[in-house]
């Protein structure tokens, strides 16, 4: 019996070492290893399922585990490879997908209890494209209710925690996806982005993500902002731990190098981008919310890296980002919250959404609350509310016209400002490191750093860069304004948390942004403060 127990312990240790080698291997290298016969799809899937079993009790990131189906698909993938059958670029590679994207036979709840028993009858087109490439879906990950705020928490599944610090949020609404990828439970996943829902979770969790140009991968989900609102269209995008994996995933969900369906503009090749020929605008503070010290440092140091590659780098401030933020909130609330009320029927409301719905369609309530907040010194929240209380079609049309005018103004600034015409914008992915739980109630988006590029429709990605250092955990003073108070509390105790950099390109120039992200990643990985693996 003693020998048997000893052998079992040795087996467990060997299994853990083997799993450790697999769970932090990139999706691209896993595919290569499976194709070469160095490891089986079954081994890879089992290693990731064990990792999910280990970390998910603490994270609550995976809310629907399709373990038996994944095992069956892994066995089929191994058999196909043994028989010499054609394989795709992700053959046998496990992935996860955001709850809001359909996976046949599983619910897409959007954090709504009323949808928990509704099973998808087919796969979302982007899920189907990854599965056609050989990917094996392990499960679905948690979201913010109705995908509406930068924390992943809802009355149905509860709160998801950040693997770098369980007292912090992984961001939202794709926070469950970012958390499980960062923790080694999945090498690659799909999420959506209407105002930062891919990019904020990536910077909070220390991984890579990418939101494509508006119209390349439009999200058809019907239980968030009503899809009839077409001024700002949610896009499906990719999360992973390495830029190369995100580039591959983006190529696959876009329909390949020469897509047969819309969009008609194919993806370019990042390898063909000459960095020394690029003009880069870098913005540390866009004027909407002061960045934390580590966030400002990350952007400045990333700009110097690109300068070292020969790029022409210029400090720059985008035009009137506050106006773009007003457009963002105004366009998405133009129905007075009617769509949200309809989606919430039969489900308990998250308090953050309940607050919005209670005033969104009432100009009288909005006016009274704005005056009250102003009197109490809550100027940020009062300013935010000026975008609510409208329900007429004429107002929506005026906002769309204002959006088109702003897009033209922004494009002209890129073309004509000193140092331009700019190919790339380098800026924060969020003004702060990972929020403490509950902070979005007062912080909302913490500025316009991500929402700006949804209003514009530009492609944008996050590359992990650094961690908060000693001496960088407080960049502001205590204040009366609740948003500033929440920011102060978020900065305190943030040492060690990851910080990413946002890379933005012009429309349909995803390959240029990916090339820049790859260069920043290559330099950042050599640094002592590169995020790497979380402590979980």
Closest to 325 in 3D by CA, of 196, 228, 506, 171? 196
More confident residue, 373 or 388: 388
Predicted confidence (pLDDT) at residue 361 exceeds the cutoff of 90: no
Percent of the chain clearing pLDDT 70 (strictly above) = 95
Tell me whether residue 234 is one of the annotated catalytic residues. no
Instruction: Write down the domain spans for the chain.
Output: 2-321+408-524, 336-397
Amino acid 258: pLDDT: 65
Percent of the chain clearing pLDDT 90 (strictly above) = 84
State the pLDDT confidence band at 105, using cuts at 50, 70 and 90: very high
- Give the alpha-carbon dihedral of 383, 388, 389, 392, to 10 degrees: 130
- Identify the burial level of 379 via C-beta atoms within 10 angstroms of its C-beta, where 0-12 means exposed, 13-18 middle and 19 or more buried: middle
What phi, psi does 194 have (nearest 5°)? Answer: -110, -25
Mean pLDDT for 120-131 is 97
Give the model confidence (pLDDT) of 186-207 as tens digits: 999 999 999 999 999 999 999 9
Mean pLDDT for 129-137 is 97
Structure tokens at 189: 């996943």
Give the model confidence (pLDDT) of 242-270 as tens digits: 999 999 999 999 987 666 666 678 899 99
Closest to 323 in 3D by CA, of 260, 264, 407? 407
State the pLDDT confidence band at 503, using cuts at 50, 70 and 90: very high
Predicted confidence (pLDDT) at residue 5 exceeds the cutoff of 50: no
Give the model confidence (pLDDT) of 412-427 as tens digits: 999 999 999 999 999 9
* Terminal Cα distance for the chain, rounded: 33
CB 201 within 8 A of CB 172: yes
> Maximum CA pair distance of the chain?
80
Tell me whether residue 173 is one of the annotated catalytic residues. yes
More confident residue, 363 or 310: 310
Place of tokens 């119209």: 215
> What rounded mean pLDDT belongs to the chain?
94
**pTM beyond 0.85:** yes
Q: How many helices (H) and strands (E) does the chain have?
A: 19, 13
CATH code for 2-321+408-524?
3.90.1300.10
Tell me whether residue 197 is one of the annotated catalytic residues. yes
- What DSSP state is assigned to residue 282? E
Predicted confidence (pLDDT) at residue 303 exceeds the cutoff of 70: yes
CB 474 within 8 A of CB 491: yes
Mean pLDDT for 376-388 is 85
Closest to 388 in 3D by CA, of 448, 335, 447? 335
Give the model confidence (pLDDT) of 216-238 as tens digits: 999 988 899 988 899 999 999 99
Structure tokens at 100: 């809001």
- Identify the burial level of 342 via C-beta atoms within 10 angstroms of its C-beta, where 0-12 means exposed, 13-18 middle and 19 or more buried: exposed
CA distance 468 to 486: 18
Amino acid 259: pLDDT: 67
Of 173, 186, 224, 234, catalytic? 173
Structure tokens at 17: 């070492």
- Integer-rounded Cα Rg, in Å, for the chain is 22
Of 26, 40, 108, 197, catalytic? 197
CB 254 within 8 A of CB 217: yes
Of 26, 40, 98, 224, catalytic? 98
């Amino acid at each position: 019996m003693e020998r048997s127990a000893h052998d079992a312990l040795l087996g467990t240790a060997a299994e853990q070492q083997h799993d450790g080698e697999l769970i932090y291997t990139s999706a691209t290298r896993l595919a290569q290893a499976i194709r070469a016969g160095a490891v089986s799809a079954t081994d890879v899937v089992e290693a990731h399922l064990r990792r999910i079993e280990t970390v998910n009790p603490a994270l609550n990131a995976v809310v629907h585990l399709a373990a038996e189906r994944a095992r069956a698909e892994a066995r089929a993938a191994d058999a196909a490879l043994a028989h010499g059958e054609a394989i795709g670029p992700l053959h046998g590679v496990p992935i996860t997908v955001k709850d809001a994207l359909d996976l046949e036979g599983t619910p897409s709840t959007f954090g709504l209890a009323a949808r928990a028993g509704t099973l998808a009858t087919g796969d979302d087109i982007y899920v189907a494209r990854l599965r056609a490439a050989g990917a094996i879906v392990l499960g679905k990950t948690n979201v913010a209710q109705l995908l509406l705020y930068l924390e992943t928490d809802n009355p149905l599944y509860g709160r998801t925690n950040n693997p770098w610090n369980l007292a912090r949020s992984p961001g939202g609404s794709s926070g469950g996806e970012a958390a499980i990828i960062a923790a080694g439970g999945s090498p690659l996943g799909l999420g959506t982005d209407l105002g930062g829902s891919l990019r904020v979770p990536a910077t909070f969790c220390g991984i890579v993500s990418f939101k494509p140009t508006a119209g390349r991968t439009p999200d058809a989900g019907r239980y968030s902002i009503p899809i009839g609102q077409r001024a700002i269209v949610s896009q499906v995008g990719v999360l992973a731990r390495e830029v190369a994996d995100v580039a591959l995933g983006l190529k696959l969900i876009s329909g390949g190098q020469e897509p047969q369906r819309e969009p008609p503009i194919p993806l370019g090749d990042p390898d063909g981008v000459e960095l020394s020929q690029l003009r880069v605008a870098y913005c540390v503070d866009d004027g909407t919310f002061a960045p934390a010290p580590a966030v400002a440092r990350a952007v400045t140091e990333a700009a110097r890296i690109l300068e070292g590659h020969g790029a022409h780098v210029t400090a720059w401030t985008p035009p009137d980002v506050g106006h773009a933020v007003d457009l963002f909130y105004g366009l998405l609330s133009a129905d007075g919250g009617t769509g949200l009320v309809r989606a919430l029927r039969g489900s308990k409301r998250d308090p953050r959404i309940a607050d919005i719905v209670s005033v969104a369609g009432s100009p009288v309530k909005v006016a009274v609350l704005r005056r009250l907040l102003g009197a109490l010194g809550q100027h940020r929240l009062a300013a935010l509310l000026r975008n609510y209380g409208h329900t007429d079609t004429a107002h929506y049309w005026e906002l769309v016209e204002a959006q088109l005018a702003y897009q033209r103004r922004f494009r002209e600034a890129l073309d004509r400002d000193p140092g331009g015409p700019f190919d790339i914008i380098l800026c924060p992915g969020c003004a702060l490191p990972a929020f403490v739980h509950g902070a979005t109630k007062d912080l909302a988006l913490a500025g316009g750093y991500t929402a700006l590029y949804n209003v514009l429709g530009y492609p944008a990605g996050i590359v992990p860069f650094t961690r908060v250092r000693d001496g960088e955990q407080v960049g502001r003073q205590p204040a009366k304004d609740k948003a500033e108070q929440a920011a102060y509390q978020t900065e305190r105790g943030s040492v060690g948390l990851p910080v990413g950099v946002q890379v933005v390109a012009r429309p349909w120039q995803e390959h240029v942004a990916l090339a820049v992200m790859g260069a920043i990643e290559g330099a950042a990985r050599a640094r002592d403060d590169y995020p790497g693996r979380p402590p979980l």
